[in-house]
Amino acid sequence: YSFEDEFSTLNTNINGTHYILSAIKHFSPNTKFYFAGSSEMFGKVQKKTQDEKTRFYPRSAYGISKVAGFELTRNYREAYNIFACTGILFNHESPRRGFEFVTRKITSSVARIKNGKQKFLYLGNINAKRDWGHAKDYIEAMWLMLQQEKPQDFVIGTGKMHSVKEFAKLAFSIAGLNYKKYIRFNKNLLRPSEVDTLRANYSKAKKILKWKPKTNFKDLVNEMVKEDLKVLK
């Protein structure tokens, strides 16, 4: 959606972030601030895995706005001594994920197809690969960042990559279906500028926050599919 409405995306992530940081600076300097960064900031990746020192190369208004928010957060931290940190989170999913995201689109469609309410699932680039983790694990990482004595930025992910095709194949199999029968290609769902692969190096979080992901890929997909099947019933 951010490709269709770039202005709202930029306004929310840049101006919205700036307003809150400015309010903290002027009215509540002891407030702790967390900025939700994104792996989309890395975009056209320059290394096989991405960490806190990896160069940003965003490929969308969303990615660009997140880079700007990251820089605003760092600037307020360094210039005004505010506890402001960024979590550069890779894709984090759960049964609460919005329907406009590919993971929830897949799992909800599987449930609908299984119950005869939908015939096909239309997707764009099924070969795109992402580092998918469970939101509940990542929320714990956010909380840990805010418990540190000094604010720092952290990359949070699983370090493992799976394609959209792998996600769909597993989701359909959980419902006892063959994904090949139901997936259809729609060129309108291709991004104008694609980000092909993203994979986290979360070694800093592991060392300093003592954090690591607890939910594996199969368990994540299984939970999402079964929850959507239950909701439909």
Write out the catalytic residue numbers: 38, 40, 62
- How far is Cα 141 from Cα 135, in angstroms, rounded to an integer? 10
Determine phi and psi for 56, rounding to 5 degrees: -80, 140
Do the beta carbons of residue 167 and residue 183 sit within 8 Å?
no
